[in-house]
Chains A and B, each alone.
Chain A
């Protein structure tokens, strides 16, 4: 099984800050990696697929990069609606998720 590790687990930031979340896979997933945003009581929302492709309708302040085992999600200017939990997910071999990064208001 491919293990996925995110850091940090919690992040406190101000509106307008640039925010970066890191995801590491236990073996290469090439670019089969996605990022999701989840708010309490809701289903996950796809933000980024295939490591760096922005899902339709997702604001351009979200971007993804990386390949192999190291990936990042960047929010260029944090907005009030962005306070949520973010998960990376590999789909190179079945699915597995990182443990999540909760983005809180500072």
Chain B
């Protein structure tokens, strides 16, 4: 079955970087892409950006430009989201979701979420 499985919880110090992975299975990897969304404690959903696994095209929310990099690895059918220069405001659950290869539509395929805690 179609599935996205994310990496485990992370605890980082302020100023560090975190890289979250999202392992895809059950579908043709290069026909889709990855969307990344985060949710701070008690807050709503925030779109961070997306990347096509077909051609590597990526687009990031303005808020995160310069601080986030999204990549894919076809050999392992995995997507990655790296966020740098972490502050306590980056403490959140990070979700990956499957996107179409060429456009952003609504999606019913989500990872289980990865909790990232930023604390000294």
Q: Show the binding face of A for B, using Cβ within 8 Å.
A: 1, 34, 36, 38, 41-46, 49-50, 55, 87, 89, 91, 94-100
Compute how far the CA of A1 lies from the CA of B107 in the bound complex, rounded to whole angstroms.
Answer: 20
Chain B residues, CB < 8 A from A49: 105-106
Within the complex, the shortest CB–CB distance from B101 to chain A, in Å, comes to 15
Contact (Cβ within 8 A) B104 A43:
no
With A1-B62, A43-B112, A43-B113 known to touch, is A94 a contact of B44 (CB < 8 Å)? no
Within the complex, the shortest CB–CB distance from B42 to chain A, in Å, comes to 10
Tell me which residues from 72 to 120 in chain B have a Cβ below 8 Å from any Cβ of chain A.
95, 97, 104-108, 110-113
Chain A residues, CB < 8 A from B37: 44, 95
With A55-B108, A89-B106, A91-B104 known to touch, is A44 a contact of B47 (CB < 8 Å)? no
Contact (Cβ within 8 A) B45 A91:
no
Compute how far the CA of A71 lies from the CA of B111 in the bound complex, rounded to whole angstroms.
Answer: 27
Contact (Cβ within 8 A) B105 A97:
no
